[in-house]
């Protein structure tokens, strides 16, 4: 009887110890998850800004109704970036349609890859414009579109676009700040000659 009681007590102690160990492990895992922090990278890195209060793309489109342009701080998901220099990126609206975001005056650039699916906040000027067929083809050649998709581009397209003054990207590629070194900025700017005129036309027109 004494031996059986001893064995029962031993089993009970073992079970309790195992339970406590599992609980401690679970608490450790939760603690580890809590220590994972979101890294915010700012472009240009000399102009960090307060990203709180950013609106959705759907809200931006609604507020833009009846206006030519609108100063915005908008939160979105990146779907693509310029594969040559990072002088533009695409975000998507609620229907999945791409909205092109162009870095103001090529004064700064975002990573050329590794940003797909990343959250971002953009501060800049949103406006309605028309991309010519030439412009559409130009951007397509800097994207990951196939030759068949590029060949299917015909005619102009009415779009909403954003000229970005500042961009924040959550958890961007590690090499984000150095990857543009060695690129031919002058030649690339020349390629874009004529593609930035929409931005200048709308500067100061937000209303």
Q: What are the helix (H) ranges across 49-122?
A: 57-64
Average confidence (pLDDT) over 44-62: 93
CA–CA separation, 100 and 157 (whole Å)? 12
pLDDT at 52: 95
Q: Name the helix (H) or strand (E) containing 78.
A: strand 69-81
- The secondary structure of residue 196, as a DSSP letter, is S
Whether 30 shows a pLDDT value over 90: the answer reads no
pLDDT at 194: 40
**Partners of 187 in beta bridges:** none
pLDDT in tens, 36-48: 688 999 999 887 8
pLDDT band at 31 (very low <50, low <70, confident <90, very high): very low
pLDDT band at 102 (very low <50, low <70, confident <90, very high): very high
Q: Are strands 157-170 and 98-103 parallel, antiparallel or unpaired?
A: parallel
pLDDT at 47: 77
Q: What are the helix (H) ranges across the chain?
A: 2-35, 57-64, 133-141, 147-151, 185-191, 197-202
Whether 165 shows a pLDDT value over 60: the answer reads yes
pLDDT at 22: 53
Distance of CA 68 to the CA centre of its chain: 25
Phi, psi (degrees; rounded to nearest 5) at 138: -60, -50
Say if CB 72 and CB 103 are below 8 A apart: no
Whether 187 shows a pLDDT value over 70: the answer reads no
Whether 101 shows a pLDDT value over 80: the answer reads yes
pLDDT at 38: 87
Whether 33 shows a pLDDT value over 60: the answer reads no
Average confidence (pLDDT) over 98-126: 96
pLDDT band at 161 (very low <50, low <70, confident <90, very high): very high
- Give me the half-sphere count of Cα atoms (radius 13 Å) on the Cβ side of residue 152: 5
pLDDT in tens, 128-153: 999 999 999 999 999 989 999 999 99
Q: What is the mean pLDDT of the chain?
A: 79
pLDDT in tens, 68-87: 999 999 999 999 999 999 99
Please name which of 164, 175, 166 lies closest in space to residue 88, comparing C-alpha atoms: 164
Whether the model pTM is above 0.75: no
């Amino acid at each position: 009887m004494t031996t059986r009681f001893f064995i029962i007590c031993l089993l009970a102690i073992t079970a309790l110890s195992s339970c406590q160990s599992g609980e401690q492990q679970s608490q450790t895992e939760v603690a580890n998850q809590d220590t994972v922090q979101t890294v915010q990278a700012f472009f240009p890195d000399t102009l960090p800004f307060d990203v709180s209060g950013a609106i959705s793309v759907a809200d931006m489109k609604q507020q833009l109704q009846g206006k030519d342009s609108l100063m915005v701080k908008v939160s979105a998901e990146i779907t693509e970036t310029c594969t040559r220099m990072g002088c533009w990126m695409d975000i998507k609206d609620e229907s999945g349609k791409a909205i092109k975001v162009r870095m103001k005056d090529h004064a700064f650039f975002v990573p050329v890859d590794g940003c797909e699916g990343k959250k971002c906040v953009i501060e800049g000027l949103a406006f309605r414009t028309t991309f010519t067929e030439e412009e559409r083809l130009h951007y397509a050649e800097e994207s990951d579109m196939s030759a068949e998709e590029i060949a299917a581009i015909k005619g102009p397209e009415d779009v909403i676009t954003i000229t970005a003054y500042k961009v924040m990207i959550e958890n961007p590629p590690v090499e984000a700040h150095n990857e543009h070194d060695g690129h031919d900025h002058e030649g690339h700017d020349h390629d874009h000659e004529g593609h930035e005129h929409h931005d200048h036309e709308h500067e100061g027109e937000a209303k």
